[in-house]
Amino acid sequence: MYHFNSDVTLAALNTLYKESGETGRAGPEDIRIGLQQDTLLVCGARLMRYDDSYWLLRNLCTLPAARQTGLASQLLQVIQNQLEYQPLITFPLPHLNAFYRRNGFHEVDIADLPPHLSQLLRQCRRRNKGIQAMVSGVSLR
């Protein structure tokens, strides 16, 4: 059985990232959330809030042994329910776009992003040209 943790430790989330081969790392300013099995963090992510009006989802990750089980979708559902009608933005790697579409996200043009997020998207695209901004919730306009 899995339970939601809205206060994942920095060490636990970064351990999950490392064990999963994820290059991203959480910082102390991030909101760290996840799904745990007993004390083991099996799926986690970090959230950053901007201007009290929208959220950025970074590095949603599941342990390799627990992938393809629906845990990431479950965690996204919890996040979306708690944010209610606030936009949730993410910059997934291209091979994950279909996953995010299945979970209620749609692509958004860089021109529709707030300036600091459009700058962040440009930085992400320097590392991976195929990255597209996606949003869940209400429109950014």
pLDDT for the residue 138: 65
pLDDT class of 50 with cuts at 50, 70, 90:
confident
Question: Angle 48-113-124 (CA atoms, 0-180°, nearest 5)?
Answer: 65
pTM for the full predicted model: 0.90
Domain 2-136, CATH among 3.30.230.10, 3.40.630.30, 3.30.499.10, 3.30.980.20 = 3.40.630.30
Nearest Cα to 136, choosing from 108, 104, 113, 112?
104
Could you give the angle at the alpha carbon of 66 between the alpha carbons of 84 and 135, nearest 5°?
30
Provide the pLDDT confidence category of residue 30 given band limits of 50, 70 and 90.
Answer: very high
What percent of the chain lies above the pLDDT cut of 90? 79
Calculate mean pLDDT across residues 83-112.
93
Q: How confident is the model at residue 141 (pLDDT cuts 50, 70, 90)?
A: low
pLDDT given for residue 84 in this prediction: 76
What is the b/e burial string over 112-141, where b = at least 16 CB atoms within 10 angstroms of the residue's CB? ebbeebeebbeebeeeeeebbbbbbbeebe
